[in-house]
Amino acid sequence: MKIGILFLHGYTGGRYELLPLIEYLSSRYDFVLEAPEYPGHGINLLIKDTNEHMWYERAQQSYEILREKSDVVIVIGFSMGGVIAGLLAKIEQPDKLILIAPAYENINIQHFVKSPYRFINNMRHADLKILEFMLLRTVKINYKSFLAFKNLQQSALYVPEQIDAKTLIIHGTIDGLVPIDKSRELVKRMKNARLVEIDRGPHEICLSKVNNKVFYEVEKFIFKNK
């Protein structure tokens, strides 16, 4: 039986946000993996002329490719990728869903701008290279693309209640962009979900010093009652 996993990254990010998890799983198992990057995203961020429809379409195309190759499909979405994963889960009915720091509500950009020290202080639990990515991404955010992200969130407003797939939510306790309280509220809205809180986990948790805890929870969930 072939297990296929779709990895969906966050807003202004790229597959690098989930790369340690991808490498961890691929080094241990013969999974079929798809890790697309949305138009305009990745290391070279050029999102000005892209929108939420283009991002979702890229994810859906990758899901369809994965479904053809796999007997079991699991979707893993990080941050905005968690929102896209939820939209996919509502329509495509994957076997399992994993949401890592899902950004179903407003990400705390304003807090980051007003209190950068607190945000960066929390990132002491992350690898230093994350700070460079985060700061570069922040200056490249423009109103048009942020509005597209808000539109995506709006379209998924009542989606969590409609998801049937077994769901694991993972969230770090010191996430400065998407506060963990958002996932504590989210898990109560879903039919078949469980929340795992990662102590001292920042937003970019798969790149952080506590990512081994994420790997463990994901691996356990993949094989639980498979």
* 96-100: strand order across its sheet: 32-34, 3-8, 72-78, 96-100, 166-172, 193-198
Which CATH number covers residue 9? 3.40.50.1820
Identify the CA nearest to 39 among candidates 22, 19, 56: 56
Judge whether residue 183 has pLDDT over 60: yes
Which entry of 79, 145, 183, 208 is annotated as an active-site residue? 79
- pLDDT one-digit tens code per residue, 159-168: 999 999 999 9
Active-site pick, 41, 125, 175, 183:
175
Check residue 109 and give its pLDDT: 55
**Token pair for residue 197?**
């809180």
List beta partners, residue 166.
Answer: 96
In angstroms, the CA 73 to CA 96 distance is 7
Q: Regarding predicted confidence, which is higher, 109 or 41?
A: 41
Is the per-residue pLDDT at 112 higher than 90? no
Could you tell me the residue range of the domain that residue 120 belongs to? 3-223
Is a pLDDT exceeding 70 seen at residue 34? yes
Residue 175 falls in the annotated catalytic set: yes
DSSP E strands, the chain: 3-8, 32-34, 72-78, 96-100, 166-172, 193-198
Burial class (CB in 10 A: 0-12, 13-18, 19+), 146: middle
Query: How does pLDDT run across 184-224, given as a tens digit for each residue?
Result: 999 999 999 999 999 999 889 999 989 999 999 999 999 98
CA-to-CA distance for 124 and 134, rounded, in angstroms? 13
Is 111 assigned a catalytic role?
A: no
What's the rounded mean pLDDT across residues 136-157? Answer: 84
How many structural domains compose the chain? 1
The tens digit of pLDDT for each residue in 55-78 reads: 999 999 999 999 999 999 999 999
Using alpha carbons only, how large is the chain's radius of gyration in Å?
Answer: 16
Find the catalytic residue in 9, 125, 171, 203: 203
